[in-house]
Structure 1
Amino acid sequence: MDPQEFNKTSIKQQWETASSLNHGVTWMAKLFLSQRLKSLCDEINQLFPSPSTSSPVELDPNSTRAVAVELDVTADASTIETSVQRAWNAFGHIDALVNNAGVRGSISSSLDLTENEWNSTVRTNLTGAWLVSKYVGRHMREAGRGGCIVNVSSISGLNRAQMRGSVAYSSSKAGMDSMTRIMALELGEYKVRVNSISPGLFRSQITEELVKKRWINNVAERTVPLRAFGTTDPALTSLVRFLIHDSSSYVSGNHFIVDAGYTLPGVPIFSSL
Structure 2
Amino acid sequence: MANKSDKVSQLLEPWSDLKGKVVFITGASSGFGWDFSINLARAGCKLIVAARRVDRLDALCHLINNNFESTTSNAPLAVPVELDITSDPPVIEAAVQNAWTAFGNIDVLINNAGVRGGTKTTLDLSNDEWNRVFKINTNGAWLCSKYIGSRMRDAGKGGSIINISSIDGLNRIKGTGRLAYGTSKAALHAMTTQMAQELGTHNIRVNAIAPSIFRSEITKGLYEKKWLKNVFDAQVPLPFYFDAQVDPSLTELVRYLIHPASKYVTGNIFIVDGGNTLAGVPIWSSL
TM-score (norm 2): 0.82
The residue identity in structure 2 corresponding to 1:105 is G
Aligned counterparts of 1:164 and 1:40: Cα–Cα separation in 2 = 35
Contact 1:24 1:101 in 2 (8 A): no
1:270 lines up with 2:253 in the alignment: no
Deviation at residue 272 of structure 1 after TM alignment: 8.3
Aligned to 1:236: 250
The residue identity in structure 1 corresponding to 2:77 is R
**Cα 1:209–1:190, aligned 2, differ >3 Å: closer, same or farther?**
same
Aligned counterparts of 1:45 and 1:271: Cα–Cα separation in 2 = 41
Q: CA RMSD in A?
A: 2.7
Aligned to 1:178: 190
Aligned to 2:271: 257
Aligned counterparts of 1:161 and 1:17: Cα–Cα separation in 2 = 30
Contact 2:133 2:181 in 1 (8 A): yes
**Cα 1:2–1:86, aligned 2, differ >3 Å: closer, same or farther?**
farther
Which residue, out of 14, 18, 27, partners 2:35?
Answer: 27
Deviation at residue 222 of structure 1 after TM alignment: 2.7
Equivalence map 1:42-191=2 (5 Å)? 43=63, 65-191=77-203
Deviation at residue 143 of structure 1 after TM alignment: 0.7
1:203 lines up with 2:215 in the alignment: yes
Which residue, out of 243, 246, 257, partners 2:260?
Answer: 246
Aligned to 1:51: none
Deviation at residue 29 of structure 1 after TM alignment: 3.2
Aligned to 2:9: 3
1:108-155 deviation line (CA, Å, top 9, x unaligned): 111111111111110000000000000000001111110000000000
Residue correspondences, number: 260
SS of the residue corresponding to residue 264 of structure 1 reads coil
Deviation at residue 213 of structure 1 after TM alignment: 3.7
Contact 2:32 2:246 in 1 (8 A): no
Aligned to 2:54: none
**Stretch moving more, 68-77 or 127-136:** 68-77
Structure 2 portions without partners, runs of 5+: 1-6, 47-58
Identity of aligned residues (%): 48
The residue identity in structure 2 corresponding to 1:127 is N
**Cα 1:112–1:98, aligned 2, differ >3 Å: closer, same or farther?**
same
Contact 1:32 1:40 in 2 (8 A): no
Deviation at residue 185 of structure 1 after TM alignment: 0.2
Contact 2:215 2:245 in 1 (8 A): yes
Contact 1:125 1:172 in 2 (8 A): yes
Deviation at residue 4 of structure 1 after TM alignment: 4.3
Aligned counterparts of 2:137 and 2:268: Cα–Cα separation in 1 = 19
**Cα 1:219–1:117, aligned 2, differ >3 Å: closer, same or farther?**
same
